[in-house]
Amino acid sequence: MKRFDHLTPTVKTGENAVAANVSERLEAAIRDSKSANTVRAYRASWRKWEEWSAAHGARVMPARPEAVALFVAERAEEGKSVASLRLAVAAIAAAHDAAGHANPCADRVVKTAMQGLVRQAAQAGASQKQAAALTAEAVEAIRGALNGAADGNPKVARDIAIVSLLACTGLRRSEAAALDWSQVGTEADGSGRLTVTRSKTDQEGDGAVVAVSRLAMRDLERWAELQGRDRQGPVFGLSGRQVSRRVAACAKAAGLGDGFSGHSGRVGMAITMLRNQAASATIMRQGRWNSERMISRYGRNETAGEALRYL
């Protein structure tokens, strides 16, 4: 990608006058308002901004919009994805907000730079890659491939339960990792209800209740029985990364190929519900989305196929 040469910042050498503990202050300020994963990502992005500023003689905080624009442009030249660029901008904005400074990323210069970089990435075919979908069909294939070994193998039963639960609830991998048995309830018809106490889009901890299919509940119950202990404490006892790895391993074992991850359940849930002609409001409620944007993105291939009815 070409650098935005006209965005060269006018900064004075040695103007980097931010206190050495700014990273610690940033983390402390946003820790209670962001998830742990977000804090870690912001911390890493903020350090990159500090390193770049030191190398270019730019002021870390309050930052000049022109310097931020040049920073993200150079990151794009290094091959960073659009998602990484947006994360960098968000981290810089959060740091300034936490310190009580004006947000340089709200300036037209930064917004214009980001719009140009996103457009260049799209033209180069570098749109953000979507995780493979854990649709109902994919889950059935995994269950068919692994079910034979599940009754005598607790780990296999656990993996099937992970895949099944993510595909119908749209849990994020971090939410699945943090899931406790106290959050899972059984209904009279054999389905379940799962209380998500805090999530990426619910930082205040208001909580949400989502439905669990009867099949997923049976998979969970088998896993609970094979655990050989009361249904107390963590449901899976894995980290978010481990959850993602188990999903990928299950998909590969079923011959579904690569591209599956801890995010596949959210994509698959949206697509399955779209195929079953669920209303957008119902999908949003189950996935805990605040708008239809992600539903449209995940289901763009499905909705594009609707045109075939008229062709």
pLDDT tens for 84-110 read 899 999 999 988 988 889 999 999 999
List pLDDT tens digits, range 34-67: 566 777 888 889 999 999 999 888 999 999 999 9
CB atoms within 10 A of CB 307: 8
What does the radius of gyration of the chain's CA atoms come to, in whole angstroms?
23
Buried b (16+ CB within 10 A) or exposed e, 187-220: eeeebbebebebbeeeeeeeebebebbebbbebb
Sequence length of the chain is 311
CATH number of 5-123: 1.10.150.130
Instruction: Output the six-digit token pair for 215.
Output: 């099949």
Coil vs helix vs strand at 219: helix
What integer pLDDT is reported at residue 29 of this predicted model?
53
Rounded mean pLDDT, 223-240: 88
Q: Do residues 273 and 282 touch, judged by C-beta distance below 8 A?
A: yes
- Asked if residue 22 has pLDDT above 60, the reply is no
Q: What is the pTM of this model?
A: 0.64
Residue 198's pLDDT is what? 64
148-152, 202-206, 272-276: least confident range: 202-206
Q: Say whether pLDDT at 118 is over 70.
A: yes
Asked whether the beta carbons of 265 and 243 are under 8 A apart, the reply is: no
Is the predicted pLDDT of residue 305 greater than 60, yes or no?
A: yes
Summarize the confidence of residues 274-300 as an average pLDDT. Answer: 89
Thinking of the domain 136-310, which architecture would CATH place it in?
A: Orthogonal Bundle (1.10)
Quote the pLDDT of residue 224: 92
Token reading at 273: 């519900």
Distance CA 174, CA 177 (A): 5
Quick check: 224 and 230 in contact, CB under 8 A?
Answer: no
The ranges assigned to domains in the chain are: 5-123, 136-310
Averaged pLDDT for residues 108-134? 81
